[in-house]
Amino acid sequence: MNVPDQIGSYRIQRILGSGGSATVYAALQTRPRRTVAIKMLRGAASDAVSIRRFQREIEILGRLRHPWVGQVYEAGVHQDGDRQIPYYVMEYVPGAKPITEYCESAGLDLRDRIKLFVKVCAAVQHGHHRRIVHRDLKPGNILIDDRGEPKIIDFGIARAPDAETLDDAEVTEPGRFTGTIQYMAPERLGSEEQDADARGDVYALGAVLHRLLTGRLPHDLSGLTLFTAAKRVREREPERPSAVNPALRGDLETILLKALARAPEDRYRSAGSLGRDLLRWLAHKPINARRAGHWHRLRLLVRRHRTESIAALLVLMIIGAAATALLIQNAMLRGLATPGIAPSTDRLAGVEPGATNGGADGDAGAADPDPDRVVRPPDSRRPGRDPSRDGDPERGENVVIAVPGQPVALIEADHGSGARVILALADGAAEVHDARNRRAIARIPAGATGVIGAGFVNDGAGVAVIDAGGAIRITGRAAEAADLQIAGAGNAFAAVVAPPVPAGALAPDGSGDAGIDTPTWIAVSHGDLTIRMHRPGVAGARIIRSTQGAFTRLASDAAGAQLAAWAPGSRALVVFDAASGQERGVARLPDADGPVLAIGFVPEGTAVLTAHPDMVVRRPLDGAPPTRRALDPGSATFAAVDPVLGRVVCIAGSIVHVIDVRGLEMLARAIERPESDPPTSAASVSALQAVAIVGSRGTVVLLPAPRVHSPS
């Protein structure tokens, strides 16, 4: 095999692997200096269908931003003689080993293997949240790096309903299975493959976990022909894990068998649901895969609080021993008592012999009037301190908010006087948290698809949540039921809710009339190349038809007067008038700027900002030349624009950049954050002058940031 010396601006070092259609190389990038991996189609596989499939893989990978998913840096075309061969540059995984090989070489025990696998579930759920189905999950595509962190790779046959560039006949050739049969769900092995959904990935994860915990696959397919093996998977139940490893008997086996159920409707609905049940097992809590009886719940409670249970048992034993000794003593006294020798113990207690005590002791055996009452233990992190004051960004302290629902993204931070953040959870629901006292104040129940946008409406009194189907749920109270629901139009790419500013703040002079409607509006971009502008309480929606391609990012200015939209296909940044829907300007971004991580307005609304992996660019709306601010070191993975305070937050590895958008001045670098909790998204919390970071292990960290005063 001929190995090229150079691909694009990358110097090739060695071959990392080669498959039927592509080869992966290790290469050196000079700026920034780092090792990368390059996946390039093989010359023999560079037919039209293979190229289109390869381009679709690039498109899907470009949507995924998660620390446990291999990241794509850029894509290009390599000139090989008279042929143009596509390639893309992605994250290099040092010391990479398949998950099964890593667990064996590291000697991980049962619990450590499950802890690692929960991270894998979180990474796959990141795709499911964006309606991306991997379809080829197996140990070889779940790599573990030299730090023990997972990386999901190879989305070559993945499907995303809103990113199709091939029809079904091109994706799956008739009579041919796409994937690895040992990890393929039964519904994919019939004569006509069913539409792929997240439950197919759940089955593959179950097969990987079965192999991790037993050393064997759920079905023994050795020596069988392809179609005989497919028939066996479709018609037979998988092997019971406890038959191989008795330690799996009980809840863990129940979880595995639910993930491996033959019927898709009997499985977990997503990787996040599987991961959450594994977390419950690790925490000795009842799992969702089966109804737990009272004795089983009690047994789990004892295991969960082993030290407290032992202490309580010792106390009960001491009390029981003391009570027994007292009863024996009383019995002996009653047996020895005769007139003139010893007084009755009842008289000593002030009670006539044989009488019953009708006072408080008479109710000692009564049932607790509130048996379900929950008494929460005090905060053990700082004994004696009010937990609501434990950490304050305004005093230069970090605040850590634990969120049981596994947040996957921080959608919105309150721009008003409050300090509220809206979190998108892995189960498709959304929660509103008060960042000052670290408590959840509202929950919007899960929809059919994951949350892609949220914001505050009605001057901050309500919350709007938009899912990937374009449906909008609006609630004004901390309740399960939504106040208003707007049916979606399907295939939603992005959504934004205009800031809930008071009417008087809309005019520059504070007069209260800026010539636009005061109710908050909600914009949703769809796969049919439209943007739908909704207003709470107003039937119907204004339709904006795109001439630039599908918009994948939307942003509102601080006054709700303008809408910015980004179309990656044409690299067009379009600004619309929010009231009329008319285009106010279109800018073509140069390829050299790289992918767009975030867009947003400056506080005055006179310029649009774009955040890229290596820079932040301010683009004036009056046609003046753009100004750029390099990020050093670069390679930012997450970014957010605060249109009220006027700052951009970018996360690049262990560094959090905070940039003043007016002069693109770097305000802060290397703000401390927990290294053990890689971020999945970030936002600015104006009310607290803080940066909020959602961690991949289910925490929200508020980091103090330099004070920035928006212009008056």
616: left (phi over 0), alpha (psi -120 to 50) or beta: beta
Could you identify the residue written with the tokens 């592509």?
22
Spatial separation of the C-alpha atoms in residues 428 and 452, rounded to whole Å:
10
Query: Under DSSP, is residue 704 helix (H, G, I), strand (E, B) or coil?
Result: strand
Instruction: Report the C-alpha dihedral over residues 174, 178, 180, 186, rounded to 10 degrees.
Output: -60
Spatial separation of the C-alpha atoms in residues 338 and 326, rounded to whole Å:
20
Do 145 and 175 contact (CB within 8 A), yes or no? no
Backbone angles phi, psi at 645, to 5 degrees: -75, -25
Pick from 422, 457, 343, 438: which is nearest to 389 by CA?
Answer: 438
Do 208 and 142 contact (CB within 8 A), yes or no? yes
Estimate to the nearest angstrom the gap between the alpha carbon of 551 and the chain centroid. Answer: 22
Contacts of 660 (CB under 8 A, 6+ apart): 646, 647, 666, 667, 708
Spatial separation of the C-alpha atoms in residues 531 and 525, rounded to whole Å:
4
Element (H, E) at 56: helix 48-63
Do 670 and 627 contact (CB within 8 A), yes or no? no
Query: Under DSSP, is residue 79 helix (H, G, I), strand (E, B) or coil?
Result: strand
Three-state SS for 370-417 is CCCCCCCCCCCCCCCCCHHHCCCHHHCCCEEEECCCCEEEEEEECCCC
Instruction: Report the C-alpha dihedral over residues 543, 547, 552, 553, rounded to 10 degrees.
Output: -80
Residue 136 appears among annotated catalytic residues:
yes
Q: In what order do the strands lie in the sheet with 420-425?
A: 407-413, 420-425, 430-434, 439-444
Do 655 and 646 contact (CB within 8 A), yes or no? no
**DSSP conformational letter for 159:** B
Spatial separation of the C-alpha atoms in residues 576 and 564, rounded to whole Å:
6
The two tokens of residue 138 are 């197996």
H-state helical runs in 287-426: 294-304, 306-336, 345-348
Do 204 and 185 contact (CB within 8 A), yes or no? yes
Q: Which of 47, 109, 112, 136 is catalytic?
A: 136
Residues in the chain: 712
Element (H, E) at 149: none
**DSSP conformational letter for 591:** G
Could you identify the residue written with the tokens 């010539």?
515
Spatial separation of the C-alpha atoms in residues 516 and 561, rounded to whole Å:
7
The two tokens of residue 324 are 């027994």
CA pseudo-torsion sign 134, 136, 139, 142:
negative
Spatial separation of the C-alpha atoms in residues 485 and 60, rounded to whole Å:
30
The two tokens of residue 20 are 């039927």
Spatial separation of the C-alpha atoms in residues 495 and 479, rounded to whole Å:
23
DSSP-assigned states of every residue in 210-273: HHHHHSS-SS--TT--HHHHHHHHHHSPPPPGGGT-GGGTTHHHHHHHHHT-SSGGGS-SSHHH
User: What are residue 701's DSSP bridge partners?
Assistant: 400, 693
Peptide bond preceding 633: is omega within 30 degrees of 0, i.e. cis?
Answer: yes
Query: Under DSSP, is residue 469 helix (H, G, I), strand (E, B) or coil?
Result: coil
- Point out the residues that are catalytic: 136
